[in-house]
């Protein structure tokens, strides 16, 4: 194979490699733009007036209720404490314990919303022992923000069905309890620690820095391909031409 033909073939491969890596870098920057737009939307939602019961109950499942996620809310109702759930292996302030969730029956309606009330420690000497949790009776006013259902952790084997669970499927829980529970959203209670619960919820991390890092890696790889091609292919090729004319 002639030197010119080899240079052409290697050049095409290098051009393909640069095209792929630059495209992947640009895709990562597109992800940054999407997540920055989401962060701006979350900030705008948080600045809106808190949702009352009526507005939440009027929101239809689907895009309409999803548009309310991250918005603050002040809901009034009565707790349904007999159906309190404790999600295991959840962290807050670098400690492992439970997230406590209690259904709230909204005042003036049969609608029930699951409230992520906060975090509390577990008893590591008796892992089956339920933690002490104070739940006020009567009508209460709960401040929080509209949130998706609680995230799920890896759970080997069949899901548990007691008060202590690794994960909580709201559709299954609605069937299990017979409560008219909204399964598309929850309320993440905010405010100072109370009722034995911490509410130092972690800030939402959209991973923008990670995408910037990936983009930089792809662009650096594209540059490396160009430098290697120039050094190992173009430079020797022109050196050969130069030597042939000496």
Residues 176, 215 within the same domain:
no
In a domain, 45, yes or no: no
Q: State the residue range of the domain holding 12.
A: 3-40+207-244
Q: pLDDT means per 10 residues in the chain (246 residues)?
A: 75 91 94 83 78 87 85 95 94 91 94 96 82 91 93 78 91 95 94 90 80 93 90 70 59
CA angle 71, 73, 78 (to 5 degrees): 145
Confirm if 155 and 214 have CB atoms less than 8 A apart: no
Assigned token pair, 56: 């939440």
Residues 77, 177 within the same domain:
yes
Look at residue 69 in the predicted model and tell me its pLDDT.
87
In a domain, 66, yes or no: no
CA angle 91, 183, 151 (to 5 degrees): 25
Look at residue 237 in the predicted model and tell me its pLDDT.
63
Q: Among 145, 146, 149, which Cα is nearest to 184's?
A: 149
In a domain, 48, yes or no: no
In a domain, 213, yes or no: yes
Residues 171, 75 within the same domain:
yes
Confirm if 50 and 143 have CB atoms less than 8 A apart: yes
Look at residue 197 in the predicted model and tell me its pLDDT.
93
Residues 185, 88 within the same domain:
yes
Residues 168, 86 within the same domain:
yes
Look at residue 93 in the predicted model and tell me its pLDDT.
87
Look at residue 161 in the predicted model and tell me its pLDDT.
78
Q: Which residues pair with 141 in a beta bridge?
A: 76
Residues 160, 211 within the same domain:
no
Cα separations in angstroms, 220 against 28, 190, 207: 13, 43, 20
Look at residue 245 in the predicted model and tell me its pLDDT.
58
Residues 17, 85 within the same domain:
no
**Cβ burial, residue 113 (10 Å; 0-12/13-18/19+):** buried
Dihedral sign for Cα 205, 201, 179, 45, please: negative
Residues 93, 156 within the same domain:
yes
In a domain, 52, yes or no: no
CB neighbours of residue 194 within 10 Å: 13
Look at residue 240 in the predicted model and tell me its pLDDT.
58
In a domain, 196, yes or no: no
Confirm if 150 and 102 have CB atoms less than 8 A apart: no
Residues 139, 237 within the same domain:
no
Residues 105, 180 within the same domain:
yes
């Amino acid at each position: 194979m002639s030197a010119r033909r080899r240079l052409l073939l290697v050049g095409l491969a290098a051009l393909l490699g640069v095209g792929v890596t630059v495209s992947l870098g640009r895709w990562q920057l597109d992800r940054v733009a999407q997540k920055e737009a989401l962060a701006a939307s979350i900030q705008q939602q948080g600045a809106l007036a808190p949702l009352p019961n009526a507005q939440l109950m009027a929101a239809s499942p689907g895009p309409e209720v999803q548009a309310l996620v991250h918005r603050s809310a002040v809901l009034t109702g009565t707790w349904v404490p007999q159906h309190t759930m404790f999600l295991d292996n959840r962290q807050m302030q670098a400690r492992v314990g439970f997230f406590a969730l209690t259904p709230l029956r909204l005042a003036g309606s049969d609608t029930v919303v699951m409230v992520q009330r906060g975090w509390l420690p577990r008893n590591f000497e008796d892992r089956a022992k339920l933690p002490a949790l104070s739940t006020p009776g009567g009508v209460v006013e709960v401040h929080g923000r509209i949130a998706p259902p609680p995230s799920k952790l890896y759970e080997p084997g069949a899901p548990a069905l007691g008060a202590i669970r690794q994960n909580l499927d709201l559709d299954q829980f609605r069937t299990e309890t017979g409560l008219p529970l909204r399964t598309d959203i929850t309320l993440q209670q905010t405010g100072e620690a109370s009722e034995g619960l911490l509410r130092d919820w972690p800030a939402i991390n959209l991973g923008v820095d990670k995408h910037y890092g990936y983009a930089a890696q792809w662009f650096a790889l594209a540059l490396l391909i160009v430098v290697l091609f120039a050094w190992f292919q173009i430079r020797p090729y022109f050196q050969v031409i130069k030597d042939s004319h000496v």
